[in-house]
Amino acid sequence: MSILDECGYKCRISSVLNRDIKSYGKSHLFDGNDDTCWNSDQGSPQWISIELQHRAHLTAFEIQFQGGFVGVNCSLELKDDGESISTTEDFYPEDVNSLQRFSLKNPRTAKEVKLVFNQSTDFYGRIVVYKLDVLGSKI
């Protein structure tokens, strides 16, 4: 079950292509529209950070990239209240357009989720994401 609507959240991103927030900003990650996306500017690493308003037990996340602009050498960082060090799990997306689901090897309670894309299949390091969702249950 999606925890973003249940818990409430704030999202931050590393960059936006040409600073065009209206066309490629973070709001497009969660708007449910297949025609909109977050498009990062060039350079590595790129990242998406989600701070939940309530703690949640996280079990998985779903992400849909644009093929050719997919993250490589990716990691998921989870941080709970008051933690200075986060738990990290690596994940390996395929270079495809379809929605991909990644189950956490060690589901856990967290209040902060950060996806880090250390490299990209794009020569310039751009990342394009159409959909992102975090799954679990509110505590």
d(CA 46, CA 93): 15
What was the pLDDT predicted at 25?
97
What is the full per-residue pLDDT of the chain (139 aa) written as tens digits?
899 989 999 999 999 999 999 999 999 999 999 999 999 999 999 999 999 999 999 999 999 999 999 999 999 999 998 777 777 899 999 999 999 999 999 899 999 999 999 999 999 999 999 999 999 999 9
Number of domains in the chain: 1
**Number of neighbouring beta carbons within 10 Å of residue 4:** 18
What was the pLDDT predicted at 72?
96
What was the pLDDT predicted at 137?
95
45-71 as b/e: b if 16+ CB within 10 A? bbbbbbebeebbebeebebbbbeebbb
Range(s) of the domain holding residue 133: 4-138
What was the pLDDT predicted at 1?
83
What was the pLDDT predicted at 86?
79
Tell me the pTM: 0.95
| CATH code: domain of residue 41 | 2.60.120.260
d(CA 85, CA 44): 22
What was the pLDDT predicted at 81?
82
